[in-house]
Structure 1
Amino acid sequence: MLAGGRVQVVGDVDDLLTQHARMVADRGDFGALPTDAEVIAAEHGSRQSSLVVRSPGGVTGADRLDLEDMVLAYLGRADERPLEAAR
């Protein structure tokens, strides 16, 4: 997938969907993240936080993403990267 002029993620769609998940927990309480997990997107509400994560080994105990949600997470991340680089 290409976004923001950069390759965001490459691979077989089924494999990528297996590697991505949405985790929801009390705000900031994600102590159970796999050690190899990469946070792709994060949303924080007043009581809960939601993370889209990628882990090559998969993420147990989390909701799998559909293709649309995975693509939207990467598009959102690509939009944020130029802001981070400017800081």
Structure 2
Amino acid sequence: MTVHASLGIAPWDVFAQGISIQTGLSFGVSTVVVSALVLLAWIPLKVKPGIGTIANAVLIGLFADFWLLVLPDTSIYWQRLII
């Protein structure tokens, strides 16, 4: 929602948004790709991710795309704060 409100986003979201802009992928898909790459980086550490970690990696991207489609575009500042 902070992506849609244009009020600033978290560092991982900036990275995912940059990938989205450069590749043409949706923001949610690029978020899932970034999460998958981070999970792959766990392989040399021999850390087994739990079901919650995997669900988080997938669902955050899906919900991000959903809400970006559902929420209206607005340029009015107080409406962006509510989003």
Structure 2 length-normalised TM: 0.28
Q: Which protein has greater RCO, CA pairs closer than 8 Å, 6+ apart?
A: 2
Higher strand share: 1
Report which of the two structures shows the higher radius of gyration computed on alpha carbons. Answer: 2
Structure 1 length-normalised TM: 0.27
Higher helix share: 2
